[in-house]
Amino acid sequence: MRIFLILAALTFSKVGAAQVYFNTQIDWEQYFEYLTFIALVNSDGDLFVTGGAVNLSSTDGVTILASLNAEGDVKWQKKFLPAPNLFGQTYHMAKLPGPYGILLGNYEKPIGNGNYDDQIFLTKINLETSDTLWTKEFGYSNYYEQGWTIKPTTNGGLALCGTTFLGNNTAHSKMLFLKTDSVGTLIFRKEYSTNLDNNHYALSFLKTDDGGYLLYGYRGYWGHYLGAILETYMYDMVLVKTDAEGNQEWVKTYPPWEWKHIGFFGFDIQPLGNGDFLIAGLKAYRIGLPGISTESKYFFARINSDGEFVDSATINKGHQGTRVNRLKPSSDGNFWAIGAEKDSQYLGQTGVILKITPGLEVLWKREYRVSPPESVIHEMFYEGVEMPDHGFALCGTAFGPLEDSTYQNGWVIRVDSLGCLEPGCQLSSAIEDLPAAEQDIGITLSPNPTSGQARLALTHEGAVLLGVRVLDMQGRVVSDMQFLRSAGWRECMVDLGGEPAGAYVVQVRSSEGWGVKKIVKQ
């Protein structure tokens, strides 16, 4: 079974009750698991999550489902195959009115001699009971097809995007767009390609004011970056405009030629009120020899209705594995994004949520970590939903620290409107507001001065880290890391490798209070 990670108790409060914020891992046992969609189900605050899992012994994939109550307790969990003899995993879901949803997934169907057809399935499900109402399959024999994003249409039907290619590796992949009626009957199927020698992936889409659609993703191909001698694999963002029937009207590729030493991946797109659009993805820089290594940064841009750039912003993060999986509109007129990032090439990815304005200004950003500091493993948020109290429920994948499991688990957290698992994580960002002396919570930071990285540790027995924020002397937030109390972190790395030389302030929150250290980057 091919394993594709998407490239990616939850609740609102009852009247008079205090909001519960929590971190929950769900283990389906003997599986590597990831959750790719989360939805608020009812007024009791129940949440539904779904995703995929791979059996450790057979590598067969299954869809996983779970329901959580307002306190983060698991009410039920199950795994199932979309149909007999089909190994499948869910990658997204369309939430329907009432307690219903349409699962979008990918399945492998045995066709003999050890071969499989990789196709798309849709399953309608009752989110409260886990009962399935129907399943539909889409695709051609000997093709590999995968759906990435599904949304309900205004007339009660469904639209989804993804990728398709001939499974014998004689052709490159194309962007795929399907539209069905309310019971999954196909209305049209369209494929798009800028070049038959390129691989194309549609990861997100939206409906435009003229009734057409914008499909957003990226393409990959072999070529040369400017000044490069060796051939390497390159990436561009791709935007396709269609009419209401899915017929292509125009296509744009980004970036312009002068940026060709940078790889751009497009992940999500959202409309702005003035007719423009906000896109999110990652910007990958080649380091050293092409094809050897990259560093990645968050990338956001505003584009107009003709697909032309209006403005763009790059958020500094200098390690491979930094990415935005989903971009969402917020009830306050801003946007929030989730994904993962790396503080060091020696550490795994950690889950991230950030808030950004339509003008591309970052209001705040939080990192969430579960596993031990020295682990080189991957934790990530794939999806989220804004809650009625304006907080957020996020789902993804995480390793540990469950004592009864050594495997990758489904991960769900509930945070407040500022992205805090423990309210109050937003330490002051103003240098002049910092206390004159460190509180005695037992902090060591070495080496100091540092040429790039320093290890921060708590010395008081039993104390654990809750948050570490690093600022420059102008008050700019360099990094903002949040730690789950139950994970028991007592140390972490402060990474200034991508920052200029100078003095920085490190704010530390622990279970014993908060304090401040200064550090110098040489």
| CATH at 510 | 2.60.40.730
pLDDT over 70, % of the chain: 81
Within a domain: 253: no
pLDDT confidence bin for 440, thresholds 50/70/90: confident
Within a domain: 489: yes
Tell me what pLDDT residue 185 has.
96
- The label of the residue with tokens 């950030």 reads 354
Tell me what pLDDT residue 349 has.
78
Domain that holds residue 503: 431-521
Average pLDDT over residues 33-44: 93
Q: Is the pLDDT of residue 476 over 80?
A: no
Within a domain: 499: yes
Within a domain: 490: yes
Average pLDDT over residues 492-503: 86
Least confident of 114-123, 258-267, 325-334, 433-442: 433-442
| Chain mean pLDDT for the chain | 82
d(CA 463, CA 100): 44
Q: Which tens digits make up the pLDDT trace of 183-193? A: 999 999 999 99
Q: Look up residue 369 and give its amino acid.
A: R
Q: Which tens digits make up the pLDDT trace of 199-257? A: 999 999 999 999 999 999 999 888 766 555 667 777 889 999 999 999 999 999 987 54
Spatial CA neighbour of 27 closest among 370, 408, 349, 381: 408
Tell me what pLDDT residue 474 has.
80
Spatial CA neighbour of 128 closest among 44, 212, 197: 44
Q: Look up residue 391 and give its amino acid.
A: G
Residue 442 makes CB contacts below 8 A (sequence gap 6+) with 458, 459, 460, 463, 510, 512
Tell me what pLDDT residue 229 has.
61
Tell me what pLDDT residue 217 has.
94
Q: Are the beta carbons of 269 and 206 closer than 8 angstroms?
A: yes
How far is C-alpha 413 from the geometric centre of its chain's CA atoms?
A: 14
Within a domain: 190: no
Q: Are the beta carbons of 150 and 144 closer than 8 angstroms?
A: no
H-helix or E-strand spanning residue 507: strand 502-510
The pair phi, psi for residue 89, each rounded to 5°, is -135, 150
- Sign of CA pseudo-dihedral 304, 310, 315, 317: positive
Q: Is the peptide bond before 500 cis (omega within 30 degrees of 0)?
A: no
Within a domain: 491: yes
Q: Are the beta carbons of 119 and 137 closer than 8 angstroms?
A: yes
Within a domain: 449: yes
d(CA 35, CA 28): 12
Q: How many domains does the chain fold into?
A: 1
Q: Which tens digits make up the pLDDT trace of 400-427? A: 654 444 568 899 999 999 898 877 776 6
Q: Is the pLDDT of residue 273 over 70?
A: yes
pTM, entire model: 0.82
487: helix, coil or strand?
A: helix
pLDDT confidence bin for 108, thresholds 50/70/90: confident
d(CA 366, CA 466): 12
Tell me what pLDDT residue 492 has.
85
- The label of the residue with tokens 């393409």 reads 219
Q: Which tens digits make up the pLDDT trace of 348-398? A: 678 899 999 999 988 888 888 776 555 556 788 999 999 998 999 999 998
Q: Look up residue 494 and give its amino acid.
A: V
Q: Are the beta carbons of 426 and 472 closer than 8 angstroms?
A: no
Q: Look up residue 143 and give its amino acid.
A: Y
Q: Which tens digits make up the pLDDT trace of 40-57? A: 998 888 999 999 998 877
Q: Is the peptide bond before 255 cis (omega within 30 degrees of 0)?
A: yes
Q: Is the pLDDT of residue 163 over 90?
A: yes
Q: Is the pLDDT of residue 454 over 50?
A: yes
Within a domain: 463: yes
